[in-house]
Amino acid sequence: MKAYSLDLRQRIVAYVRNGGGKTEAARRFNVGRDTVYRFLKADTANALAPKTSWGHWRKLDPQRLERHMRHNPDTTLAEMKDDFKVSTSCLWKALKKMKYTLKKSHRIPRAGRA
């Protein structure tokens, strides 16, 4: 989701400061009422500008994962899950972004013919 522009934030704050209601500002500018309150609070702290960066690795450090894959190429997702303290789906998505492919192995021996 993209952040609201600084211009819109300033117009909402100016509307309320000039006597407009918070609920009416939310309706007029098509934002949530909590958003209006958040903008007013941010304005009093001189922090009305939107964040410049939204994306980053939260729990999983890509450099650490890359080092782990170089030193332990045969490790399974289940083993890595315990080392990195994240879910297997989180690991799989990160490895996919890093262009690693799935290595299949058959752990169950195949049934012999009678």
**Helix runs in the chain, H state only:** 6-17, 22-29, 33-44, 62-71, 77-84, 88-97
Express each pLDDT in 45-104 by its tens digit: 999 998 876 565 567 888 888 999 889 888 888 888 888 888 888 888 888 888 887 766
Amino acid at 111: A
Please give the radius of gyration of the chain, using alpha carbons only, rounded to the nearest integer.
25
**Predicted local distance difference test score (pLDDT) of residue 104:** 62
26: pLDDT strictly greater than 80: yes
Region of 46 please: left (phi>0), alpha (psi -120 to 50) or beta.
Answer: left
d(CA 14, CA 29): 12
5: pLDDT strictly greater than 90: yes
Q: Which of 66, 29, 50 minimizes the C-alpha distance to 80?
A: 66
**Predicted local distance difference test score (pLDDT) of residue 28:** 97
Domain map (residue ranges) of the chain: 6-44, 62-97
21: pLDDT strictly greater than 90: yes
